[in-house]
Amino acid sequence: MDDLSPALRASWDDAWRALRASPQPGLLAELLARYSEPHRAYHTLQHLGECAVELERAANLAERLAEVELALWFHDAIYDTRAHDNEARSGGWARTALVGAGVAMETAARVEALVLATRHDGPPDGVDARLLVDVDLSILGAPPARFAEYERQIREEYAWVPEPEFRRRRARVLGGFLARPAIYGTAAFVERLEARARTNLARSLAELTPPG
Residues 176-187 have a mean pLDDT of 97
Contact 54, 138 (CB under 8 A): yes
Contact 134, 187 (CB under 8 A): no
Q: What share of the chain is helix, strand, coil (3-state, %, to 5)?
A: 65, 0, 35
Closest CA to 3 of 41, 45, 40: 45
Please tell me the predicted confidence (pLDDT) of residue 51: 97
Closest CA to 112 of 134, 97, 131, 127: 97
Residue 147 has pLDDT above 90, yes or no: yes
Average pLDDT of the chain is 96
Confidence label for 210 from pLDDT (cuts 50, 70 and 90): confident
pLDDT tens column, 96-128: 999 999 999 999 999 999 999 999 988 899 999
In the chain, the percentage of residues whose pLDDT exceeds 70 is: 98
Confidence label for 209 from pLDDT (cuts 50, 70 and 90): confident
How many Cβ atoms are within 10 Å of 10's Cβ, its own excluded? Answer: 14
pLDDT tens column, 12-47: 999 999 999 999 999 999 999 999 999 999 999 999
Please tell me the predicted confidence (pLDDT) of residue 1: 45
Please tell me the predicted confidence (pLDDT) of residue 121: 85
Residue 196 has pLDDT above 70, yes or no: yes
Element at 97 (helix H, strand E) = helix 86-100
Confidence label for 212 from pLDDT (cuts 50, 70 and 90): low
